[in-house]
Amino acid sequence: MKVLIKKAKINDPASPFHNSTKDILVENGIIRAIDSSITEPADEVVDIPNLSVSPGWMDVFAHFCDPGIEHKETLATGAAAAAAGGFTTVMVLPNTKPVIDTKSQVEYIVRASERLPAQILPIGAITRKTEGKELAEMYDMHASGAAAFSDGLHPMQSSGILLKGLQYVKAFDGVILQLPDDESIAAHGLVNEGIISTRLGLPGKPSIAEELIVSRDIQLAKYTDSRVHFTGISTPKSVALIKEAKEHGVKVTCSVAPYHLALCDEDLMQYDTNLKVNPPLRTREDMEALRVAVAEGVIDCIATHHLPQDYDAKVLEFEYAKDGMIGLETCYSILRTYLPQLQEERIVELLSVNPRKIFDQPVSINVDQKASLTLYQPDEQYTFAQKNIASKCNNTPFIGKAFVGKVAGTVYGKKLSLNQ
Partner 1 sequence: MQLSTKHLLGIRDLVPNDIQIILDTAAQFKEVLQRPIKKVPSLRDVTIVNLFYENSTRTRISFELAEKRLSADTINFTASGSSVKKGETLLDTVNNILSMKVDLVVMRHSASGAPHFLAKHIPAAIVNAGDGINEHPTQALLDAFSIREKLGTLQGKKIALLGDIMHSRVALSNIYLLKKMGAEVMVAGPPTLIPKYMQQAFDVHVEYDLKTALEWCDVANVLRIQLERQNQVLFSSLREYNLQYGVKRSLLDNLNKEIVIMHPGPINRGVELDSDVADSKQSIILQQVENGVAVRMAVLYLLAGGKTIQN
Reported as type and span, the H/E element at residue 227 is strand 227-231
Only one of the segments 117-125, 150-158, 200-208, 328-336 lies at the binding site for partner 1 (rule: CB under 8 A); that segment is 200-208
Q: Is 288 in the site for partner 1 (CB under 8 A)?
A: no
User: Considering just the CA atoms, what is the radius of gyration of the chain in Å?
Assistant: 20
Nearer to partner 1, 171 or 269 (CB): 269
312 scored as a contact of partner 1 (CB under 8 A): yes
Q: Does the protein bind partner 1 through residue 316 (CB under 8 A)?
A: yes
The residue length of the chain stands at: 420
Site for partner 1 in 163-192 (CB under 8 A): 187-188, 190
- Rounded CA-CA distance 199/24 in Å is 55
Shortest Cβ 182–partner 1 spacing (Å):
14
Position 114 contacts partner 1 (CB under 8 A): no
Cα angle 151, 358, 133 (rounded to 5 degrees) comes to 20
Is residue 41 part of the contact set for partner 1 (CB under 8 A)?
Answer: no
At 88, phi and psi to the nearest 5?
-100, -10
Q: Does 71 bind partner 1 (CB under 8 A)?
A: no
Residue 236 C-beta: closest distance to partner 1, Å: 17
Q: How far is the CB of 67 from partner 1 (least distance, A)?
A: 25
For 373, phi then psi, to 5°, come to: -130, 140
Please choose, out of 96-104, 105-113, 226-234, 315-323, the segment that lies near partner 1 by the rule CB under 8 A: 315-323
Other C-beta atoms closer than 10 Å to the C-beta of 107 total: 15
CB nearer to partner 1: pick between 115 and 199 = 199
If the CB atoms of residues 105 and 273 are measured against partner 1, the closer one turns out to be: 273
Asked if 185 contacts 193 with a C-beta cutoff of 8 angstroms, the reply is: no
The least distance separating partner 1 from the CB of residue 191, rounded to whole angstroms, comes to 10
Q: Is residue 102 a contact partner of residue 130, using CB atoms and an 8 Å limit?
A: no
What 3-state class would DSSP assign to 115? coil
Q: Binding of partner 1 at residue 195 (CB under 8 A)?
A: yes
Q: Is 315 in the site for partner 1 (CB under 8 A)?
A: yes
In angstroms, the CA 382 to CA 402 distance is 6
* CB-nearer residue toward partner 1: 31 or 268: 268
Q: Does 311 bind partner 1 (CB under 8 A)?
A: no
At residue 269, the 3 state secondary structure works out as: helix
Q: Does 266 contact partner 1 by CB under 8 A? A: no
Single out the residue of 170, 320, 362, 385 in contact with partner 1 (rule: CB under 8 A): 320
Q: Is 402 in the site for partner 1 (CB under 8 A)?
A: no
**Is the preceding omega at residue 67 within 30 degrees of 0, hence cis?**
yes
Tell me whether residue 139 or residue 271 sits nearer to partner 1 (CB atom): 271
List the one residue from 41, 160, 201, 400 that touches partner 1 (CB under 8 A): 201
Binding residues with partner 1: total (CB under 8 A): 26
Least CB distance to partner 1 at residue 415 (A): 40
> Is 198 one of the binding residues for partner 1 (CB under 8 A)?
yes
Distances (CA, A) of 114 to 92, 119, 315: 15, 7, 35
Where b means 16+ CB within 10 Å and e means fewer, 227-255 reads: bbbbbbbbbbbbbebbbebbeeebbbbbb
Angle among Cα 374, 377, 381 to the nearest 5 degrees reads 140
Chain residues that interact with partner 1, rule: CB under 8 A = 187-188, 190, 193-204, 206, 270-271, 273, 312, 315-320
